[in-house]
Amino acid sequence: MLTFDHVHFYYKKGHPILEDINFTIKAGEFVAIVGANGSGKSTVAKLMDGLLLPKKGTVKLQQLDTTNPNDLMKIHQQIGFVFQNPEDQFITTTVMDEVLFGLQNIRVPREAMRGRVDTALRAVQMEDFLEAMPHQLSGGQKQRVAIAAILAMQPQIIIFDEATSMLDPQGREQVLSIMHRLHNQGMTIIHITHHMDEVISAERILLIHEGHLQFDGDPLIFFETVPVLEYQLQLPFAVRLRKTLQLESPLTANWKEGIRSQWPIN
Ligand SMILES: Nc1ncnc2c1ncn2[C@@H]1O[C@H](COP(=O)(O)OP(=O)(O)OP(=O)(O)O)[C@@H](O)[C@H]1O
Ligand SMILES: [Mg+2]
Which among 1, 154, 8 is positioned nearest to 67, based on CA atoms? 8
User: Does any ligand 1 atom lie closer than 6 A to the CB of residue 84?
Assistant: no
Q: Return left, alpha or beta for 68; rule: phi > 0 is left, psi -120 to 50 is alpha, else beta.
A: beta
Q: Which residues contact 45 (CB under 8 A, 6 or more apart)?
A: 33, 81, 159, 161, 190, 192
* Peptide bond between residue 169 and the one before it cis (omega within 30 degrees of 0): no
Q: Which atom, in ligand 1's list, is nearest to the CA of 192?
A: 22
Angle between helices 110-123 and 139-151 (to 10 degrees): 140
Query: Do the domain assignments include residue 117?
Result: no
8 Å CB contact between 145 and 126: yes
User: Does any ligand 1 atom lie closer than 6 A to the CB of residue 40?
Assistant: yes
Q: How many helices (H) and strands (E) does the chain have?
A: 10, 10
8 Å CB contact between 180 and 30: yes
Which among 241, 255, 236 is positioned nearest to 197, based on CA atoms? 236
Taking the CA of 37 as reference, the closest ligand is 1
Query: Do the domain assignments include residue 139?
Result: no
Coil, strand or helix at 233: coil
Amino acid in position 104? Q
pLDDT tens-digit series, residues 42-76: 999 999 999 999 999 999 999 999 999 999 999 99
Query: Do the domain assignments include residue 98?
Result: no
Query: Do the domain assignments include residue 112?
Result: no
Q: What are phi and psi of 179, to 5 degrees?
A: -60, -45
Interatomic CA distance for residues 161 and 204, integer angstroms: 16
What 8-state DSSP symbol labels residue 229?
G
The per-residue pLDDT for 242 is: 77
Can you give the length of the chain in residues? 266
Query: Do the domain assignments include residue 177?
Result: yes
Identify the domain containing residue 33 by its residue range: 2-87+155-260
Q: Which residues contact 70 (CB under 8 A, 6 or more apart)?
A: none
β-strand partners of 58: 5
127 membership: H or E segment, kind and range? none
Which among 164, 117, 122, 157 is positioned nearest to 143, based on CA atoms? 164
Is the pTM of the predicted complex or chain greater than 0.95? no
Q: Which atom, in ligand 1's list, is nearest to the CA of 194?
A: 25
List, run by run, the mean pLDDT of 10-residue segments along the chain (266 residues). Answer: 98 97 98 96 97 98 97 95 86 92 89 95 96 93 95 96 93 94 96 93 96 95 91 86 70 60 54
Provide the b/e sequence for 21-32 (b: ≥16 CB within 10 Å).
bebebeeebbbb
> Where residue 177 sits, what CATH number does that domain have?
3.40.50.300
What's the helix, strand, coil split of the chain in %, to 5?
A: 45, 25, 35
Query: Do the domain assignments include residue 52?
Result: yes
Q: Mutate which of 10, 11, 53 to test ligand 1's pocket (most atoms within 8 Å of Cβ)? A: 11
Query: Do the domain assignments include residue 220?
Result: yes
Protein residue whose Cα sits closest to atom 23 of ligand 1: 38
Split into its structural domains, the chain has a count of 1
Protein residue whose Cα sits closest to atom 30 of ligand 1: 38
Protein residue whose Cα sits closest to atom 18 of ligand 1: 40
pLDDT tens-digit series, residues 206-216: 999 999 999 99
The per-residue pLDDT for 266 is: 44
Protein residue whose Cα sits closest to atom 9 of ligand 1: 43
β-strand partners of 80: 158
